């Protein structure tokens, strides 16, 4: 059977079972195992098991449950309440200040947690009702939280980056460092958008009344709220970029910092530890199944000879290498609307990586672009995770329609950030080269 027909049957079967509602992990793993058996025989199973065993022996893999546990503890620690109070008194005096302060907290939370949902749920619970009470436009406020919450997978540490590094065999530390520049860029772009729109349409994001702004004594005392977050960020990122610890060892330091934060806020208890551990177990078990499916899929994909076929098809796209990149971004945007980011990673990376290598692109640079597109996937209808996180905690007067419409300007702003990173690769590569030397 020709490679073209095998590839068509392979991807056609995947799409069919996905549309039928079969869980992604079982679809990928099941279809891949079936095709492996009919193309390689029983030996294909040994190859998959061998690759899976190699992954299980990876020291980097230990970082995933540690970062998840850190995020679960931080979500319950009460750190976000103090941060929001600080942003309230410092940014509330300007139009759009509460929204800008909220996305700043999202960026800080991203540097502490490594996942998207933590910041979205926390800010949706704390910041959204306050902004609405003070006359903020629903869509402006909801969109800011939706967008800022997605930075959890871009600004280091990031669990999705750990998975990307495992699947592509690039350095986790370099990949973490590459998220700093684009993360700052997106924060600046989103803040500019909110500030300019609030200046042009003051009714959308009014400044706080004078009596709510706080004096300098209150402002200075509120700065204590950033001490614990800075401690956690320093423990994790400082240890990695300073060369004192691997990303896995730094994850353990992050858990230690989260425990300190919980204790300081008097939220540390056996019940909190047990609940966070149970949530971590569930998510980690899911990730392990995903890794198994990824190895089965990549093995089947390579065995079919689809690498050469996909490279040839990419070469036929008009526009050369930039046309191929534009096609990949479009495909990621479409898939992000209907699949979860990890699933997209499993399906597309075996297809994209040979193209990246053939064009001589830096896999770290491409990884940052890939992660930003996954961030867009988190907030785009109809199935973006952040949309449903927000709906679960938003006040009753915030409808699903409001949440859907709120993302449009923020998606456009994020796309501008993607284009800037594409045109200026140093934004993504400066910090990896600074901390780890040129690649």
| pLDDT exceeds 90 at position 184 | yes
> What rounded mean pLDDT belongs to the chain?
83
Tokens 């300098």 correspond to 216
Q: Indicate the range of 218-232, 308-322, 397-411 predicted with least confidence.
A: 308-322
CA distance 248 to 172: 9
Contact in structure between 322 and 58 (CB atoms under 8 Å): no
Q: Is the pLDDT of residue 376 over 80?
A: yes
**C-alpha to C-alpha distance for 355 and 325, rounded to whole angstroms:** 9
pLDDT at 34: 85
**What is the distance between the alpha carbons of residues 126 and 109, in angstroms, rounded to a whole number?**
13
Residue 311's pLDDT is 66
What is the C-alpha to C-alpha distance for residues 331 and 323, in angstroms, rounded to an integer?
Answer: 12
The predicted-structure confidence for 254-294, as pLDDT tens digits, reads as follows 888 888 888 887 888 888 899 888 988 887 787 777 777 76
Distances (CA, A) of 213 to 77, 197, 416, 438: 26, 21, 33, 47
| pLDDT at position 121 | 78
What pLDDT is stored for residue 196 in this prediction?
94
- Check: CB of residue 372 under 8 Å from CB of residue 418: yes
How far is residue 286 CA from its own chain's centroid? 17
Check residue 9 and give its pLDDT.
Answer: 82
pLDDT of residue 305: 66
pLDDT tens track for 102-139: 898 888 888 877 777 777 877 888 888 888 888 899 99
What are the residue ranges spanned by the domains of the chain?
Answer: 3-436
Those residues whose C-beta lies under 8 Å from the C-beta of residue 420, and which sit 6 or more positions away, are 185, 427
Q: Is the pLDDT of residue 234 over 90?
A: no
C-alpha span between 371 and 164 (Å, rounded): 9
Cα–Cα distance measured from residue 334 to residue 356, given in angstroms and rounded to the nearest whole number: 20
Q: What is the pLDDT of residues 163-175, one digit of tens each?
A: 898 888 888 889 9
Report which of residues 183 and 264 the model is more confident about.
183
The Cα 14–Cα 303 span in angstroms is 16
| Radius of gyration (C-alpha) of the chain in whole angstroms | 22
Could you tell me the end-to-end alpha-carbon distance of the chain, in angstroms, rounded to an integer?
42
Identify the top-confidence range among 197-201, 217-221, 334-338.
197-201
C-alpha distances (whole Å) from 95 to each of 15, 198, 212, 406 are: 47, 6, 14, 19
pLDDT of residue 60: 65
How wide is the angle at C-alpha 367 spanned by C-alphas 365 and 371, nearest 5°? 125
């Amino acid at each position: 059977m020709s490679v073209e027909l095998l590839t068509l049957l392979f991807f056609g079967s995947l799409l069919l079972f996905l549309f039928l509602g079969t869980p992604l992990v079982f679809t990928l793993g099941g279809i891949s195992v079936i095709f492996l058996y009919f193309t390689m025989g029983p030996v294909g199973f040994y190859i998959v098991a061998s690759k899976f065993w190699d992954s299980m022996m990876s020291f980097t893999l230990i970082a995933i449950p540690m970062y998840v546990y850190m995020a679960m503890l931080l979500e319950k620690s009460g750190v976000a309440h103090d941060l929001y109070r600080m942003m309230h008194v410092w940014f509330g005096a300007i139009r759009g200040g509460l929204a800008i302060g909220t996305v700043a907290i999202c960026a800080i939370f991203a540097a502490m947690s490594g996942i998207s949902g933590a910041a979205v749920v926390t800010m949706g619970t704390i910041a959204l009702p306050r902004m609405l009470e003070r006359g903020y436009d629903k869509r402006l406020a909801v969109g800011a939280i939706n967008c800022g919450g997605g930075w959890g997978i871009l600004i280091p540490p990031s669990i999705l980056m750990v998975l990307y590094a495992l699947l592509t065999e690039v350095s986790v530390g370099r990949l973490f460092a590459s998220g700093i520049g684009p993360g700052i860029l997106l924060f600046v772009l989103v803040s500019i958008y909110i500030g300019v729109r609030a200046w042009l349409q003051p009714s959308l994001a009014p400044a706080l009344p004078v009596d709510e702004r706080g004096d300098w004594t209150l402002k200075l005392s509120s700065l204590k709220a950033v001490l614990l977050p800075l401690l956690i960020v320093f423990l994790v990122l400082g240890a990695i970029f300073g060369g004192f610890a691997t990303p896995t060892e730094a994850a353990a330091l992050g858990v230690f910092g989260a425990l300190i934060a919980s204790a300081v806020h008097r939220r540390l208890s056996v019940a909190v530890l047990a609940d966070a551990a149970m949530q971590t177990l569930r998510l980690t078990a899911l990730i392990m199944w995903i890794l198994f499916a990824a190895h089965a899929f990549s093995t089947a994909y390579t065995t079919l000879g689809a690498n050469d076929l996909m490279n040839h098809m990419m070469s036929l796209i008009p526009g050369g290498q930039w046309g191929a990149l534009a096609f990949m971004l479009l495909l990621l945007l479409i898939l992000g609307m209907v699949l979860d980011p990890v699933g997209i990673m499993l399906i597309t990376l075996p297809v994209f990586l040979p193209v990246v290598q053939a064009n001589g692109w830096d896999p770290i640079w491409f990884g940052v672009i890939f992660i930003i597109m996954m961030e867009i996937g988190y907030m785009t209808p109809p199935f973006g995770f952040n949309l449903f996180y927000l709906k679960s905690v938003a006040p009753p007067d915030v409808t699903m329609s409001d949440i859907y419409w709120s993302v449009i300007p923020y998606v456009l702003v994020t796309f501008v950030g993607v284009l800037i990173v594409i045109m200026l690769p140093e934004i993504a590569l400066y910090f990896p080269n600074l901390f780890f030397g040129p690649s």
